[in-house]
Amino acid sequence: MDMKIPQRSDYTFKYNKKLGRHGWLRLTPAYSVKLVTEIIDNIPKDSFILDPFSGTATTGVVAAENELSAHCFDINPFLVWLGNAKCRNYSKASLKKLRSGIEKSLFECKAIANEDNWLPDMHNITRWWCEHTLKVLAALRQALVNQFGEPVEDNVSTLAWIAFCRLIIETSSAAFNHISMSFSDEVTTFEIEQVESLYQEIVNAIVQSVSKDLVGSASVHYADSRKPVSINNVRYSHVVTSPPYPNRISYIRELRPYMYWTKFLDTAREAGELDWKAIGGTWGVATSRLKVWESDRIKLPKSLQVIVSQILETKEKNTLLMANYVWKYFHDMHLHLNSLRNNLEKGAVLSYIVGNSSFYGVQVPTEKLLEDSLRSLGFTNVGSKVIRKRNSKKELFEYCIYATWKYTRKLEPKFLSVNSTQSRQLTLFSSMGKQ
């Protein structure tokens, strides 16, 4: 690989920070508006785009900003809720109502600041906020509930809650100077007046960013992209997405504060359960489940067996767990690509942004392994190009994998067949994983 390939921060989430709706809440694994815009540039206006791994709905919003239609799927209910709020248009009257509700909440907040208001049951919560700031945030939260109800509602009040999410992260000690999150040594104390003016500032920015209507249409749906999903029988002409990477980064880890404060999560166990459902999930219970996970008897590319064997041969402490992790990731992505075939129209074009990874010095060439899956499932014009370098030291890159679907009819799910050699190999891997 040419080591001169640049890191290109304009091709990461950093590019989105000041771009209206795109900058509301950060998710480190979000991809860049610039990259999506380049991918969908010049596609016909009657195209229908699918993003099966929506995250913060970057694809959906970019599509809707460019007069296109898109459906997005995600397995995390919080991201479905957030994504739909980003993809919606808001009338002037509803925004006026929102502002007046927020004014009333800020007034009430002062009155209830000394009461024992509800706080989320987050592990080590005072690492995020000091006792004083927590009291103020809890009072504001309660005042917002009194005005708008709990955050699950899908209407303009969602904006008040998204602003609250932004507030809790800005008042917290969480530092995002790395791909994952860490904590600053000191927790700053925020007075009620500071919290109120910061909240008002955030609300103003959010309201400003929705003042311009989206010209296209996009919606986000709760779905598991490994399984067959159909929204109004739509067949997609383009799939533009960035699935999880096989790099053990957990989305829940970063989303936890938002999800606890909005009651999308109540306990650490639930966080682990949700991560287990996500492809590449590795948080809490997901790790112990992985130890005993057994693959479906599906036919996976031989190249995957080679990589997994190489990881097993390193005989490091967690070798078996990591081998199972890699196996399951590509297994799940294969299931996804298999189901996806039912959703595509003839000639549909796929663009998948993925990153490679490395386990105990063994390179996991995500792009090559997924290309092999695509070919084995009947996709054509399969290939990939490197987009950016991800890390200054290691050989970690981001790629765009592309492929075309040339069939018109739904295929029978023949992926459930497996030859006997592969079957033995799979049994071997899963029994090794149990040792």
Ligand X SMILES: C[S@@+](CC[C@H](N)C(=O)[O-])C[C@H]1O[C@@H](n2cnc3c(N)ncnc32)[C@H](O)[C@@H]1O
Residues within the interface to ligand X (CB under 6 A): 27, 29-31, 53, 55-56, 58, 73-76, 79, 223-226, 242-244, 251, 278-279
Our measurement of the distance from residue 331's CA atom to the centroid of its chain's CA atoms, rounded to an integer in Å, reads 19
Q: How far apart are CA 150 and CA 167, in angstroms?
A: 17
Task: Determine the residue with CB nearest ligand X.
Answer: 55
| CA dihedral for 328, 330, 335, 336, sign (positive or negative) | positive
Q: How far apart are CA 32 and CA 79, in angstroms?
A: 17
Q: How far apart are CA 30 and CA 14, in angstroms?
A: 9
Shortest distance in whole angstroms from residue 33 CB to ligand X: 9
User: Which of 180, 174, 192 minimizes the C-alpha distance to 133?
Assistant: 192
221 vs 235, which CB is nearer to ligand X?
221
38 vs 108, which CB is nearer to ligand X?
38
Provide the 8-state DSSP code for 75. Answer: S
Shortest distance in whole angstroms from residue 27 CB to ligand X: 5
Write the CA distances from 195 to 138, 274, 295, integer angstroms. 11, 31, 49
Q: Which amino acid is at 237?
A: S
What six digits make up the tokens of 291?
């130890």
171 vs 242, which CB is nearer to ligand X?
242
Shortest distance in whole angstroms from residue 269 CB to ligand X: 18
227 vs 385, which CB is nearer to ligand X?
227
Q: How far apart are CA 172 and CA 305, in angstroms?
A: 44
| Exposure of 249 in the CB half-sphere (CA atoms within 13 A) | 19
151 vs 281, which CB is nearer to ligand X?
281
Shortest distance in whole angstroms from residue 274 CB to ligand X: 8
55 vs 301, which CB is nearer to ligand X?
55
Q: Which amino acid is at 426?
A: L
Shortest distance in whole angstroms from residue 99 CB to ligand X: 28
Shortest distance in whole angstroms from residue 381 CB to ligand X: 23
For 54-69, b where at least 16 C-beta lie within 10 A, e where not — what string?
bbbbbbbbbbbbbebb
51 vs 196, which CB is nearer to ligand X?
51
Q: 127 CB contacts (<8 Å, ≥6 apart)?
A: 173, 183, 187
Helices 92-112 and 157-170: crossing angle in degrees, nearest 10, is 50
136 vs 223, which CB is nearer to ligand X?
223
Shortest distance in whole angstroms from residue 235 CB to ligand X: 19
Long-range contacts: 367-373, Cβ < 8 Å, 24+? 367/399, 367/401, 368/303, 369/301, 369/303, 369/304, 369/307, 369/330, 370/330, 370/333, 370/337, 370/401, 371/401, 371/403, 372/301, 372/302, 372/303, 372/304, 373/300, 373/301, 373/330, 373/333, 373/334, 373/337
Is the separation of the CB atoms in 137 and 167 below 8 Å?
A: yes
- β-pair type (397-405, 344-355): antiparallel
Shortest distance in whole angstroms from residue 370 CB to ligand X: 14
239 vs 312, which CB is nearer to ligand X?
239
196 vs 224, which CB is nearer to ligand X?
224
Shortest distance in whole angstroms from residue 53 CB to ligand X: 3
74 vs 196, which CB is nearer to ligand X?
74
State phi, psi for 100 to the nearest 5 degrees: -70, -35
